[in-house]
Amino acid sequence: MSDVDLWAAWRLWMGVAAAIVVVAASLLVTIWLSARGILNEALRALAAAETIRKNTQCVWALQTTNEVAERIAETVEDIQRKGGALVAALEGRTVRRHAK
């Protein structure tokens, strides 16, 4: 192989290597830009999820409100039962006093 052939082969393989490097670099840049885009979208999604969480806090508070309302209703029913028993007892005494 002559010097000219050697230089021609060297230039050819350097061109192939350069093309491979350019393709690999362009792929890496594409991946990097895609990753940045994914990061930006993920940050937007996280912000949206946080906003949704803040806006739905009142819905979760309804569970507590319902539990308190149930306890109040139970207390009112208990008072009503005891009050009814008291009224019945007082009416019974009043009837007995008038009967004498």
Confirm whether pTM is higher than 0.85: no
Full 3-state SS string of 73-98: HHHHHHHHHHHHHHHHHHHHHHHHHH
Q: How far is CA 12 from the centre of its chain?
A: 57
Rounded distance, CA 64 to CA 58, Å?
Answer: 10
For 23-45, the pLDDT digits (tens) are 999 999 999 999 999 999 999 99
pLDDT at 100: 52
pLDDT at 99: 54
Mean local confidence (pLDDT), 11-20: 97
Mean local confidence (pLDDT), 65-83: 94
Q: Please state the domain extents for the chain.
A: 1-55, 56-100
96 pLDDT tier (thresholds 50, 70, 90): low
Residue 70 has pLDDT above 70, yes or no: yes
